[in-house]
Structure formats: C-alpha cells, structure tokens
Structure 1
Amino acid sequence: MKKLLLFLATCLSLVTTSFVSAKDVDYNIRLYWGRLTLNKDNTATFQQDLVYDFASSYNGQYVTLGSAGNVPKGFKINSNPEVKAYEVNEQGKLTKRPIKTKIEQLSDGYRAKVYNGGHSGDRVVLSLKWKLHHVTTIYSDIAELNWTPISDWDAPLDKVVLTVKGPSNSLAVSRFHAHTGYFKKQPKVTQKNGNYEVNIEGLGKNKKLELHAYWKRSDFAAATDKSSKRLSKFQALEAKIARRQKFYPLLVGWLFPMVSAILILISIVLYATWKVVLGQRKTARHMHLFSPPADLSPLILSRYVYDLEIQELSPLKTKRKRYDLGFKQLIQASLLDLIDQGKLVIADDHKSFFVPDWNRLESYEKRFLIFVYGDNKKTMPIDGAFDDYKIDKSIFKGSNETEIRRRGGDILHLFENRMEKLDKAVKNKISSLSLNDIHRERTGEEKTQLILVYFFASTAMLFAFFVGAFALIKGYWLGLGTNLLLLIVASLFLIFYRRKDDYYKVSSLLTQEGLAIKQGWDSFENMIRDIKRFDDVELEGVIIWNRILVYATLYGYAERVQNYLKVKNIHLQNPQMNTYLEINPSYYVGQSTADLSTYTSTATSASNFSVSSGGSSGGGFSGGGGGGGGGAF
C-alpha cells in the first residue's frame, strides 16, 4: 500500500487536469498504471490502478478488458477480477471505499462496473487485478507477446505507466516494443529492475497502446503452440513498423503536400498560358490620351466597348463580380451627358430636372429617363431617382402574404421590364451607328485550357482536403497544418481563377480591332486618373472640359476632375454644367442609387414572401488483439 501511495503521489504531481463529460458526468483520468506479470506456465496477472478526478456527481466507474482480434489460441480472461476502490484526501491518504461490483460478459471480453457514487471534487483510485491465461504464443525459439491492453477508453488518459515483468529476471534474450500508431510519438520504453516500463504523457480518447515483445522459449514451462520459429519474423515485423513510422508521417506531412503544391503550380502555369492564348493585353498605366477616342454617350460606350448592359450592373445582380464600370457611375454620367447636350435642364430652383423637348431625345435616352425617373414626367426631382421602385420594409407588417408578394412582384416586374427595354434601345442605337462588332467568343483551345486550370487547382484542393482530414483523424498535427495551408492556397487560387473567368464572361473577349479601340479608352481613362500630374501646357489641347467631366464621372474620377477645375479656376462653356458643379446633383443621384439596392432587395424578399410554419484506428501496430477501455457513469 505504501508503495502504491508513493507512486500515485509522484505521478499525480506531474499531471495536468483535462475534464471530459460523459452523460452529465465530468471527470478525467489522471493516471493509468498497469502491471503485467507473466508466469512460466503462460498465465499472467494484470493489475490496473486508475486515478479518477471528478468535477460532478457520479455513480461509479467501469473498466473493460477484451479478447478481440489477434489473440493467442486459448487466451482467456478470468471472469472474477479483484476490485478495490480508494478515496484520496487532500493529504494524499488512501481510504478504502465500500463498493458494489457487477461483472458483465461482453461478446469479446468483460466489463467490471463498480458502484461507488460520490460528488464533485472526489479523487478515486480504482484498483483491478485480472487473471489471464495463455497470454503469449510459444514458438520453438521464442514466446511472443502481442497484446493491446488499452484501446477503448471514453476519456483521455493524462499519464500512462505500464510495467511488464517476464517469467525470469533476465532480459538478455528478450525484446520489448510499445506502439501507439504510425503518426504518434512512440512511447518511451525503459528497463528497470528486470522489468520493462512504458511511459506515455497523454493518450487520447479511444487511442491504442499495443505491447509487442518476446522472451526466449526456455523461460516458459508451458507446451509449445507452434513448432515453427518466429524470431526472424518478429524482427522483420518490427523493422517494417519502424520504417513506416518514419515514412508515413513524411508521406502525409511532406510528400503528399508536395503533390498538392505541384498541382497548384501546374494550374498557375496553365493559367498564365491561357492568358497568353486569350491575347487580352492590358494597356500600360503610363499611356495617356488627352481626348476621348470617340464622342460616345456613356450608355453606348458601356455596351459597345465594355459589353456591359444595365441589367448586368443593376443591384439585382451579384455584387461580388468585377466590372469595368459601376452602376451608380453609369447613371450619374448618363444624366450629366444629357445635361451637356442640353437635352436635360436643371430647373431654376436647382431642385429638379426637366426635358425642354422630348422629341430631341434618342429612343434609348427616353428609355433611360423613364428607367430613372418614371414615365414622361414634366419635372424630375433631383433627389427622386428610382422613386417608382420604392418599397418600405414595413410592408411585411400588417399585410397578408398575397398582398406582400403581389406588391413585391409588381415592383420587380416594373424594374426588370424598364431595364430590358433600355438595354434593347441601346443595342438598336449601336446597330444604327453601323459599328463593327469588336467582341468574340472563346475558342475551343481557350475553353480546354481553362478547364485544365480548374481541374488541377480543384484536384490540389480536394487532395489536400482528404489528406488533411486523414491527418486530423490520426491526430497528426504537422500533416494537418501543411495540408490545411495548401487547401487554403488552392482555394484562393480557385477563387482568383473564377473571378478572372467571370470577368471575361461579363466583358467578353475583344477582337484585335476591339483591343485597339479599348486601348484608346483605357489611355484616356489613365489621363483622367492622372490629371493632377500634368501641367497646363500639356492640357492645353484638352478644350472640351465638359466632355472630360462626363467621362470622369463614368470612370469614377468626377471628384478628382472637379477639384482640378476649382484649383485651376476653369469655367465650363456650358452654363448648365457650371450649375451642375455648383449644386452637385450627383450626390443626390448617388444616394438614390444606393437606396435602389435596398428597394430591390426588399422587393425580392416580398415577392418570395411566405409565412414560416416553424420546425425544427489506423496502422502502426503489430496486429495484437485484446483491448481495454473504461470510463465513469
């Protein structure tokens, strides 16, 4: 008893606490101390001393010992183990506890269920002594122990100490190995007083500890089980396990990740090749053009050069796609373009627009004003853009489901119908201008190249995912970390490839003529962006400042150009444009455009509105059988 108490006190001082919960019982197992003693007649005793710390009330503990798997022929567990329980006080003194034990026969072993209930804060030592028969397989040269004493514990074991004493005190002609799997740090095995001792700092829930050892045949008096020799096969098996314990972590932690990395690199090379094949070269940022390549209205320009429709840019479409132009900027620039042409006039009160002569408007311009301000309004409040699509979230309160869906559907239909008519009118105008089609479809080679890009990146991502999941199951954190990193990298590249793919789907591919035209507009945009860098001499040729302001608004640089005009004290030739600069209608139109996102979102929700009804073990072992587990209840 003193020896047990001293050992327990020493081990407990080295162990940290990590509680687990099982059916409302919180506990941890601070120490598993096992002692296997082999006898010459091939029987054995197996002593288990288990230290439980409880953080809740409990009814007792249970321990299993099994005979599953590859156990020697004739292996048997005595069904009546000796069971004792002790309570440990704060001074470390052991006090024997009264218990009631129930031994349950399982399909492959026994379970000792010990009833000794208690309360939170208890520390209990459970001691079991099992008698085993035919523990080793006796060959003509050696007796082999291939046994798994730990396999199915319901809680992690904070510290494991297991000693094995052979039938003799000599260890000269014997070998001992302990295994916890290929991906775990192998247990420390030492020789002490003629015994083998295994020490493990932390063994996870349901993790295995397997013992594989041999002693010389002459140490046992029992009959031979098999007349063949076993030593060379034993050594070969352990050598194989040792090699795999080095190779498998290398495979999962480094070699497989290298495969994923190579697949990612291949996808990058293929993507670069795909970009070359597309031939969609970008205009250098230092190239500048000081006047627009053509006098095109913003709506015509966005459709003809950038292949963008209002329907694609509208708030009904996803906001995650990348476009060369923005919806708000296109609306603001189109209004400013009409003001510059004198087709739209700012009223004297500076609060509204009006059209002096509707007959002067092109068909698409009429459709545009109807889309923004409604049908044939004599005056259009500057801050009233998109009021026809206004819908308040209060519609969801106090209205029945049918009315909500009808109202939301009506607004969406009106919005989509006007957009469709506007896009059709713009397309018809481009046709009437006899402009060449500067966009093209993808070739078969380009499609195949992109499929390969996706294939290699996706394969890398899936491969890293499955290898990482395997590493997680095995508790191999290096393998998990490297594969998780590559999983993230592959995912990011896939997102990047998809964004580029979407960009070219939206903007279409340009022909050689189209590339030349777009290069001119890109150079013009560069000039607007860099306008503050030029001196007055360089900008003398830029005499149509009102048109510059229209395109600056379209490209999102309106404020930059307006500030430049103020600093240089430049006044526009068109009085309406000067008025525009003074009252800044773009602010109100921009605010209305932002509100439009809310309107369309609410309308979409309303059109789909319905009342909810409510509702609501791997490798690294030598194949030994047995098994053992336990927990608390």
Structure 2
Amino acid sequence: MIKLKIVVFTFLFAMMGVLTVSADGDYRITDLNEVVRIDANGDARITKKVTYHFDDEMNGVYFKESLKKGTASQSLQWGGLTSIEVSHNNGEKQTILPRQGDSSYGYVETKTSQQVQEKIYYPVQENDQLTMFYHYTLKGVVVNWDDIAEINWLPIGTRDVAIEKLRLEFALPNQPASTLKAWVHGRSVGHVLVNKKQANITVNSKKIGPDDTVEVHTYFDTSQTPLNTNKQSGNRAAYIQKQEKAIALKNKKSLQIKKVIGFIVSPIVIMILVFIIMLKTIQRRKLLQSARQQSGVTGDIVHIFDIPNDIGPALVSERIAKSVTNAKLIIATLLDLIARRKIAMTYDDIQKQDDITYSVLDETNLQPFELVFINMIFGKYRRAVVHAEFKQPESGVSNRIKKDISSFTKALKEAEKQASIIDHVLTNKIKSQQFFLTLALIISTIISTFLLGIFAYSTQAWS
C-alpha cells in the first residue's frame, strides 16, 4: 500500500516523539495538549500534557525532543527540564524525580547533540491511563529579522501511534500583537485560529496519524522579542509570504490532481467495469436463451415419459451418463437401425435365432457414430452377418468389434457433445467469464473505495 505524504517545507527545529519503554506493549495517545509560551528573549517555555491509554502491562514511556538543526546557521538548544508530573488513572498529580539506582519509578535523562531523551519509569497495568506533564525550555526558537520575528518549527513529528486529539497553542509575551500571521501545514490539521488581540495561535485536530506532522510557520512584530540575541539581517516578511504562496499553489495543484483521480477517474473506471459486466451478463443470457431454444425446453412438453427416437438409444445412454456394457450398446444400436430400416433382418425360421441374417439397406442420413457402427459390424465391403457370428469369439464380426469398439465409443461421445442439450465447454467458459468479471468488479470497487478514502483523507475533502 502506497501512503500519501505531505511534503513539509524546510523547518527551523525538529520533532517530538513518544515511544514506550516496553517494546512488546501496546498503548494509545488519546490526548496531546501542548502550550508554547514565547519569552522576550526568544526562548520557548513548553508545557506538554500527554494522556496515554495502555492495552497491556508496561514499564513506562519515553519522551524525546529533537535538537537537530533547523536552518543552516542555527540549531535548537536544550534549555533544561523544569519538571515531570504524572496523574495515574485521573488521580492527583505526582512529581517524577530522577531515578535512583534500580528503582521502578523515576526518570533518566540522556542528552546528545541531536536529541534529548527522558526515560520515565512508571509501571502500569492493562487499561491503565497515565497523564504526563512535561515542563521544559527550548532556546533560540525565534529569529529576529530587521522587519519581523519568525518561528518556523515542526512541533509534532512522526511517531509510532496516532494522536487521537491534539491542541497546540503558541502564546506571545505581549497583548495585543500589532502583527501576527501564521501558516500551519499538515495532512490532518483541523481548525486553526490566529488571534492578534490575544497574541496567540491555536491548532485543534481530532486525529493526527502516525505518519502525519504539524508544521507551524509564523511571524510577528519584533517588539514581542526585544531581548532576543538570535538575529539576522534582512527584510523577511515579503519572502515568507512569497514562500507560503508558492507552497499553497503547489498544494492546490496537487489537491486538484488528487480530486480528479479520486473523484472522476476512479468512478469512471468503476462505471466502465459495471458496463462490461452488464454487457457480458446480457450476452450470457442470450446464449442461455439460444441454448434453451435449440434444446427444445422452451416449447410445449410432449410425451415427457417417452424415450427420444431421434438420437438413438446409444446416444440416449451416453447423454444420461448411464453406465452400459458394450454388448448392450451394440444390440440397442443394431435394433434401432433395423427399426429405422437402415439394416435389414431376414430369417427362415423365427425359432432359430442363430440363422437370422443382418445386411445393410441404407446409409443415408446416418450420424458419424452410426457409420462407424456399420463399418464395425459389416466391414468395409458390407458383407451380411449371421446372428450366430456374434457368439463366435474368432468370427469376422467379433474381431471387428474387438478392433473398432473404442472408435465406436469415441465417436459416440463426440456425437453426444455435438447434440448435447448442455454445451459444457461453452457453459464453463461463460461461468468462468462471469466469475472473473464479477471478481474484477468487486476488487476494483474495493480498491477504488480505498483510494477514494485515502484521497479524501489526504486532501481533507470532507471539510
């Protein structure tokens, strides 16, 4: 499965991730509330409230904050952890202290040039809930330019589980803000509010998928961060607006393409498949109707209990798949041809059956298997056959029967196929076509529905 990803523009600082200490446990982040308070010196005092729901026993959680470079000249600086608090199953807050020895409770901080990690030990049981409060500072979040102060940050990065509910707030030090503009990028971003009067930005989303990110790009008046030493020369506002406009146009084009594919192309493909299925179904019904007419089952039923007299007893036996000995097939075919005056039967004394003589009268309008039968019984020169010869194992007729009986039965089977009420080859072919066409329709419908869901999700088309 190909996952659609939103390309996030170059950001100043990197992401936060939350992982479990116990790798074989399961958990969910049901709520994440992050408040970022900007100080006059450009630092950010962050309170991150994260609610975890556990589906198994676990030893605790990880908290990670990336310190990777945000721009070519600036990198994020760890300002220090103020405190970690926990509420277990909605109980009162408890402060988590640094871990001592092998204690089951406490946190251990590991810091590198790229990342700060807090490993929190706090055993939980299945269906427990922990609400963690992380208080810490990040330095150099704001860049002061000649005309504006800028934040370009990815506070919510990818993680191993979804965030079921998110609230993110950026609060400036002074109210109101004379200048405040913001762009929030992310596939699952919901409601965004920029409030100059209260000098803050809030982002609310119902669900952020594991691969979804939230990027905040904002600028405001430099009077908000007069003590900021992280400065760069140049007028930045016009550049940011041009940059964000280009991103918006690119996203708009991408959205239009996705909508065309998702809401026009896919339905057309489904309609074409449905049309093909309907056409093939109509053709199948016409073939079935034609077969029914040829077989005579659509007309009035006449003498339903009579044995058919137009195809011969041997063919009847073959058609009803009745297992009959070769001797009976030969006798039945012989008598049928006598009754149809194709073979003559002569005798002087009816009491002496062995003296009955059989000879060929007429070979016109015979079926191929009947011609094979005539050749098998009477030979190439059509010599008359005496009844007693059938009883003699080494007679001419007995030898011809031994030699040609397989040809006769083969011809009989071929005749049954030609005169069959049900054409099994055609029937199986139609059934296979119908099955695969129906299967293709079902698969295409499932795939198209899935793609439509992805398109709708990635484009936020419902909103």
TM-score (norm 2): 0.55
Task: Establish whether residue 331 from structure 1 lines up as the match of residue 330 from structure 2.
Answer: no
1:104: which partner in 2? 110
Q: Deviations over 1:516-574 (max 9, x none)?
A: xxxxxxxxxxxxxxxxxxxxxxxxxxxxxxxxxxxxxxxxxxxxxxxxxxxxxxxxxxx
Task: After TM superposition, give the deviation of residue 333 of structure 1 in Å.
Answer: 11
Distance across 1 between alignment mates of 2:408 and 2:134:
86
- The equivalent position to 1:129 in structure 2, one of 116, 120, 135, is 135
Residue 187 of structure 1 aligns with an amino acid whose one-letter code is H
How many Å separate the matches in 2 of 1:364 and 1:342?
A: 15
Kindly indicate whether residue 213 of structure 2 is the aligned counterpart of residue 186 of structure 1.
no
Q: Which residue of 182, 203, 208 corresponds with 1:203?
A: 208
Task: Give the deviation of 1:185 after TM superposition.
Answer: 5.2
| Distance in 1 between residues matched to 2:411 and 2:282, nearest whole Å | 36
**Which residue identity is paired with 1:331?**
A
Where 1:162 maps in the other structure, the secondary structure is: strand
Query: Is 1:42 aligned to 2:32, yes or no?
Result: no
Please say if residues 177 and 189 of structure 1, whose CA atoms lie closer than 8 Å, have aligned partners that are also in contact. no
Post-superposition offset of 1:158:
3.1
Q: Give 3-state SS (helix, strand or coil) of 2:265's partner.
A: helix
d(CA) in 2 for partners of 1:175, 1:110: 30
What's the secondary structure of 2:240's corresponding residue? helix
Q: Letter of the 2:166 partner, please give it.
A: V
Q: Which amino acid aligns with 2:30?
A: R
2:167–2:205 CA contact under 8 A, matched in 1 = yes
The residue identity in structure 2 corresponding to 1:216 is D
Secondary structure of 2:207's aligned partner: strand
Q: Following TM superposition, by how much is the alpha carbon of 1:41 offset from its aligned partner in structure 2, in angstroms?
A: 3.0
Letter in 2 for 1:126: M
Q: CA RMSD in A?
A: 5.6
Secondary structure of the residue aligned to 1:141 is coil
User: Cα deviation per residue 1:246-284 (whole Å; 9 max; x = unaligned)?
Assistant: 66556445643422343455567789999999xx98749
The 3-state SS of whatever aligns with 1:25 is coil
State yes or no: 1:84 paired with 2:90. Answer: no
Distance 1:240 1:169 in 2: 31
Counterpart of 1:112, as a letter, is E
Q: Distance in 2 between matches of 1:476 and 1:334?
A: 69
Aligned pairs for 1:511-590 (under 5 A) are: none
Judging changes above 3 Å, is the alpha-carbon distance between structure 1 residues 291 and 251 closer, same or farther for their aligned structure 2 residues? same
Indicate how the Cα distance of structure 1 residues 210 and 289 shifts in structure 2: closer, same or farther if over 3 A, else same: same
2: CA distance, partners of 1:428 / 1:125: 80
Residue aligned with 2:44, SS: strand
Q: Measure the CA separation in 2 of the matches of 1:254 and 1:228.
A: 41
Q: Could you say what secondary structure the match of 1:93 adopts? A: coil
Instruction: Classify the secondary structure of the residue corresponding to 2:32.
Output: strand
In 1, Cα distance between equivalents of 2:77 and 2:143:
16
Contact 1:252–1:471 (CA<8 Å) still a contact in 2? no
Does structure 1 residue 216 correspond to structure 2 residue 221? yes
Structural mapping, 1:465-476, within 5 Å? 465=447, 468=450, 472=454, 475-476=457-458
Q: How many Å apart are 1:97 and its aligned residue?
A: 4.3
Between Structure 1 and Structure 2, which shows a larger proportion of helix residues? 1
How far off is 1:63 after superposition? Answer: 0.9
State the distance in 2 between where 1:21 and 1:475 align.
31
Q: Secondary structure of 1:61's match?
A: strand
- 1:425 equivalent in alignment to 2:411: yes
C-alpha distance in structure 1 between counterparts of 2:111 and 2:246, whole Å: 36
User: Which amino acid in 2 is paired with 1:215?
Assistant: F
Aligned letter for 1:209?
A: V
Pair 1:168-2:174 in alignment: yes
Deviation string, structure 1 residues 7-59 (Cα, Å, up to 9, x no partner)? xxxxxxxxxxxxx9963434433332212122333322222222334454432
Q: Residue 33 of structure 1 corresponds to which residue in structure 2?
A: 33
Compute the displacement of 1:76 (Å). 1.9
Q: Which has the larger radius of gyration?
A: 2
Write the deviation string for residues 576-620 of structure 1: whole angstroms up to 9, x where unpaired. xxxxxxxxxxxxxxxxxxxxxxxxxxxxxxxxxxxxxxxxxxxxx
CA distance in 2, matches of 1:208, 1:129: 22
DSSP 3-state at the match of 1:258: helix
For 2:321, what is the secondary structure of its paired residue? Answer: helix
Could you tell me whether the CA contact under 8 Å between 1:65 and 1:109 is conserved in 2? yes
What displacement does 1:215 show?
A: 1.0
Q: Within 5 A, what are the aligned runs for 1:260-271?
A: 260-263=266-269
* Cα displacement string for residues 88-138 of structure 1 (whole angstroms, at most 9, x for unaligned residues): 466x53233445222234673222112233445654332323322322344
Structure 2 counterpart SS, 1:256: helix
SS at match of 2:176: coil
Match of 1:158, SS? coil
Q: 2:92 maps to which residue?
A: 93
- Matched letter for residue 147 of structure 1: W
Q: Is the 8 A contact 1:260 1:461 kept in 2?
A: no
* Greater CA drift, 257-266 or 111-120: 257-266
- Cα distance, 1:174 vs structure 2: 0.8
* Inter-CA distance 119–342: structure 2 relative to 1 (3 Å threshold): closer
Are the aligned partners of 2:88 and 2:131 in contact in 1 as well (CA < 8 Å)?
A: yes
Distance across 2 between alignment mates of 1:244 and 1:26: 38
CA distance in 1, matches of 2:51, 2:255: 33
Residues 171 and 199, structure 2, Cα contact 8 Å, conserved in 1: yes
- Is the partner of 1:203 in helix, strand or coil? coil
Change (3 A) 1:45 1:250: same
Q: Distance in 1 between matches of 2:137 and 2:410?
A: 90
Q: Is the 8 A contact 2:110 2:116 kept in 1?
A: yes
Distance in 2, matches of 1:429 and 1:155, equals 68
* Structure 1 residues not aligned, in runs of 5+: 1-19, 302-309, 311-328, 346-355, 366-419, 436-453, 482-633
Q: Distance in 2 between matches of 1:56 and 1:95?
A: 22
Instruction: Report percent identity of matched pairs.
Output: 18
Partner secondary structure for residue 229 of structure 1 = coil
Task: Choose which of 142, 149, 174 in structure 1 pairs with 2:155.
Answer: 149
Judging changes above 3 Å, is the alpha-carbon distance between structure 1 residues 283 and 228 closer, same or farther for their aligned structure 2 residues?
farther
CA distance in 1, matches of 2:280, 2:164: 55
Deviation at 1:289, TM superposition (A): 6.5
Matches of 1:260 and 1:246, distance apart in 2: 20
Give the drift of 1:478.
8.7
Number of residue pairs the alignment of both structures matches? 343
Question: 2:165 aligns to what?
Answer: 159
Question: CA separation in 1, counterparts of 2:253 and 2:412?
Answer: 66
State the distance in 2 between where 1:332 and 1:22 align: 70
